[in-house]
Amino acid sequence: MADLLVVGSVALDTVQTPFGKVQEALGGSATYFSYCASFFTQVRLVATIGEDFPGSHIKLLTDRGVDVSGLKTSHGRTFRWAGEYGYDLNEARTLDTQLNVFADFKPVLDERLRRMPYLFLANIDPDLQLDVLGQMAERPRLVALDTMNFWIQGKREALLRVLGEVDVVTINDAEARQLAGEPNLIKAARAIERMGPSTVVVKRGEYGAVMVNNGAFFVVPAYPLESVYDPTGAGDTFAGGFVGYLARAEKLDRATMRRAMVHGSVMASFTVEDFSLNRLTRLSAQEIEARVAAFHDLVRLEA
Amino acid sequence: MADLLVVGSVALDTVQTPFGKVQEALGGSATYFSYCASFFTQVRLVATIGEDFPGSHIKLLTDRGVDVSGLKTSHGRTFRWAGEYGYDLNEARTLDTQLNVFADFKPVLDERLRRMPYLFLANIDPDLQLDVLGQMAERPRLVALDTMNFWIQGKREALLRVLGEVDVVTINDAEARQLAGEPNLIKAARAIERMGPSTVVVKRGEYGAVMVNNGAFFVVPAYPLESVYDPTGAGDTFAGGFVGYLARAEKLDRATMRRAMVHGSVMASFTVEDFSLNRLTRLSAQEIEARVAAFHDLVRLEA
């Protein structure tokens, strides 16, 4: 089991779906990622929050053993995001974004964090991602990165630079097509692989995810759920399950990578069953194991 | 290996995609289905064509051993469909439909066809599907059915009646949601199962397909393709591979059903690699086997 450092955003989310609404609930890419990965390994979180951030949210993370010594409280208000989903639940419509303290986020790693063996660069400015990588005292054994349309469009050069330095990229399908400039998803994934990462994980929402790993494809479906309440954070918990599992396994062979994909899909399936991190806060290791077993059954070809 | 009867449409399709165009090419649900199923079992086709139907198209079918004794030439022109696809290739925009002789299609089965053990009711008026079922001298061992939004909306009662009589329904995801009146696909599949069929196969285009079989779910992805030229007929060839494989196996156990799903996905993956049936006409049994093996590798979790 290897320590896993994550650098990203912590936010307060206001989300409306056809099935309900939450106001200023705990959110943010690094939050979802670290909470989820904490089921598999020791997670250390680097992010920024405002003075208004509820202590109860921090307690949720520390209760799961997440190291929050890198969570800095800055002068001002916490990053806020508001969005809504229609019945198809596939794409959020952003209603409001208030960057607040996140606008001045400059991650600084202390001596110990610079030596973490597994690193996840959550969806932040690729220049910051590069800066974090540059702070590492030695090259981590695995560096994974997530990004989004905003950076693909506005910071393409910096993004390509950091992509050339990482092992794994997680990205959603529309963003993969945008990044590669290629409508065919398989060609797009191969094109992104040529940008540097030896593993490209393309997240497809309710359809699961595809991985290209050293040239070979692997597909996992999403777990079939009768009730999906809020897809917010599904991609980040997928990444948390995926990278968290890899950090626990400390192996990168083909079978481990594939099992990591299943764990990513399983963790995302729990996340969407409730708003914010609510389902994850009620989640047990036994439930994870049971759903992984059910997942195997879902795709098993042999009798 | 059991004989497989298919009743449906034979058409001349004019299709435009970003990658090319064909004019009055061989198409129709029963055409795609029977050509594809002929790789697995003896297929007998019941459909209607006009006097203008090219003999070369009939020869394509007979060269594959399809029994076309039930293919009736009627006075008039053949059914024509014209459509186009954008870059996402997911949904056709219909430009023109000329039912022609298909408007008066009244399938009549001869004594021999009434005793076929496997029956596929391709996408036609559910009243005709019921009529065909009623003509069978004895209940076939397996009856499968496909339908579409047009009948779900306009002939719901007849459709529900025939759904109560079949074993398998194949339907695409949007139509499954429409038929069940339920946005959640998993709930929709379960609702359709309660309408009668013990097996519900929901086709999801580039994302593969989901099967509910006696209450248990199974998911197959679409085979990852770098070049997709024309998705027309993908759903019908999926059904052809699926039901054709079942008719060859003459078993309906869980492992056979799952292998049938893989064969459906594999056959659909060939279809979309070229316009009309062009890729299928160059297809060998060896290529099918190789792609089935590649497919197993694509989803295999074990090392």
DSSP string, B114-180: GG-SEEEE-SS-HHHHHHHHHH-SS--SEEEEE--HHHHHH-HHHHHHHHTT-SEEEEEHHHHHHHH
Q: How confident is the model at residue B90 (pLDDT cuts 50, 70, 90)?
A: confident
Q: How many CB atoms lie within 10 A of CB A142?
A: 20
Q: Which residues of A touch B194 (CB under 8 A)?
A: none
Our CA-based measurement puts residue B301 at a distance from the nearest CA of chain A, in whole angstroms, of 6
Mean pLDDT rounded to a whole number for chain A: 96
Q: pLDDT at residue B77 above 80?
A: yes
- Identity at A218, one-letter amino acid code: F
CB contact under 8 A, A208 and B221: yes
What is the arithmetic mean of pLDDT over B250-270?
A: 97
Tens digit of each residue's pLDDT (9 = 90 or more) over B198-246: 999 999 999 999 999 988 999 999 999 999 999 999 999 999 999 999 9
Q: What is residue A90's predicted lDDT score, i.e. its pLDDT?
A: 77
Helix (H) or strand (E) holding B273: none
CA-nearest residue of chain B to A258? B301
Evaluate the CA torsion angle A59, A235, B210, B95 in order and state its sign.
Answer: positive
pLDDT digits (tens, 9 = 90+) for B261-301: 999 999 999 999 999 999 999 999 999 999 999 999 999 98
Q: Do B187 and A226 make contact, defined as CB atoms within 8 angstroms?
A: yes
C-beta atoms of A253 and B303 within 8 A? yes
| pLDDT for residue B88 | 80
∠ CA A209-B19-B96, nearest 5°, is 100
Tell me the pLDDT tens digit for each residue of A222-258: 999 999 999 999 999 999 999 999 999 999 999 999 9
Q: What span, in angstroms and rounded, lies between the C-alpha atoms of B84 and A118?
A: 48
What pLDDT is stored for residue B267 in this prediction?
98
**pLDDT tens readout for residues B105-156:** 999 999 999 999 999 999 999 999 999 999 999 999 999 999 999 999 999 9
* Residues shown for chain A: 303
* pLDDT score of B303: 61
Give the tens place of pLDDT for each residue, A46-93: 999 999 999 999 999 999 999 999 999 999 999 999 999 998 887 889
Cross-chain Cβ contact A299/B296 below 8 Å: no
pLDDT at A302 exceeding the cut of 80: no
**Cβ atoms of residues A191 and A178 within 8 Å:** no
Which of chain A's residues have a Cβ under 8 Å away from the Cβ of B253? 303
How far from B170 is each of A71, A93, B38, B210, CA to CA, in Å?
Answer: 51, 33, 19, 10
How many structural domains compose chain B? 1
Q: Hey, are the CB atoms on A218 and B262 less than 8 Å from each other? A: no
Q: Is the pLDDT of residue A214 over 70?
A: yes
Chain A residues with beta carbon closer than 8 angstroms to that of B224 = 185-186, 210, 217, 219
Q: Report in angstroms the alpha-carbon separations of A29 from A94, A152, A203, A234, B276.
A: 15, 17, 15, 10, 45
Give B190's contacts in chain A (Cβ within 8 Å): 226
B interface with A, Cβ–Cβ below 8 Å = 18, 87-88, 183-187, 190, 204, 206-208, 210, 216-219, 221, 224-228, 253-255, 258-259, 262, 296-303
Which residues in chain A have their CB less than 8 angstroms from residue B185's CB?
206, 224
A177 vs B contacts (CB less than 8 Å): none
To the nearest whole angstrom, how far is the Cα of B28 from the nearest Cα of chain A?
Answer: 26
In this predicted structure, what is the pLDDT of residue B29? 98
Domain assignment of residue B250, given as a range:
4-299
Chain A residues closer than 8 Å to B219 by CB? 208, 221, 224, 298-299
- pLDDT of A303: 61
Higher pLDDT among residues A90 and A164, named by residue: A164
CATH number at residue A126: 3.40.1190.20
Chain A contact set for B226 (CB, 8 A): 184, 186-187, 190
Tens digit of pLDDT for each residue in B21-74?
A: 999 999 999 999 999 999 999 999 999 999 999 999 999 999 999 999 999 999
- Condensed to tens digits (0 to 9), the pLDDT of residues B161-185 reads 999 999 999 999 999 999 999 999 9
Contact A224/B219, CB-based, under 8 Å?
A: yes
Express each pLDDT in A248-286 by its tens digit.
999 999 999 999 999 999 999 999 999 999 999 999 999
Task: Say how far apart CA A278 and CA A271 lie, in whole Å.
Answer: 8
Q: What is the mean pLDDT of residues B85-114?
A: 93
Contact A48, A69 (CB under 8 A): no
A183 contacts B227? CB cut-off 8 A: no
Q: What rounded mean pLDDT belongs to chain B?
A: 96
Closest CA to A104 of A149, A148, A152, A72: A72
A168: β partners: A144, A199
**Euclidean distance between CA atoms B282 and A29, whole angstroms:** 48
B80-84 vs B67-73, strand pairing mode: unpaired
A303/B254 Cβ within 8 A: yes
Largest Cα–Cα distance in chain A? 59
The DSSP line for chain A is ---EEEE---EEEEEEETTEEEEEEEE-HHHHHHHHHTTTS-EEEEEEE-TT--HHHHHHHHHTT-EEEEEEE-SSPPPEEEEE--TT-SSPEEEEEE-GGGGG------TTGGG-SEEEE-SS-HHHHHHHHHH-SS--SEEEEE--HHHHHH-HHHHHHHHTT-SEEEEEHHHHHHHHT-SSHHHHHHHHHHTS-SEEEEE-GGG-EEEEETTEEEEEPPPP-S-----TTHHHHHHHHHHHHHHHHT--SHHHHHHHHHHHHHHHHHHTTSSTTHHHHT--HHHHHHHHHHHHHHH----
The model carries a pTM of 0.95
State whether B303 and A187 contact (CB < 8 Å). no
Dihedral angle sign, alpha carbons of residues A36, A41, A47, A52: positive
Q: What is the mean pLDDT of residues B187-204?
A: 97
Interface contact A184-B224, CB threshold 8 A = no
Are the C-beta atoms of A114 and A133 separated by less than 8 Å? no
Nearest to A303 among B204, B217, B255 (CB): B255
To the nearest whole Å, the CA of A231 is away from the closest chain B CA by 13
Please name the helix (run of DSSP H) or strand (run of DSSP E) that holds residue B33, with its range, or none.
helix B29-37
What's the mean pLDDT in A284-302? Answer: 95
Min CA distance, A88 vs chain B (Å)?
A: 7
Residues of A in contact with B300 (CB under 8 A): 258, 301
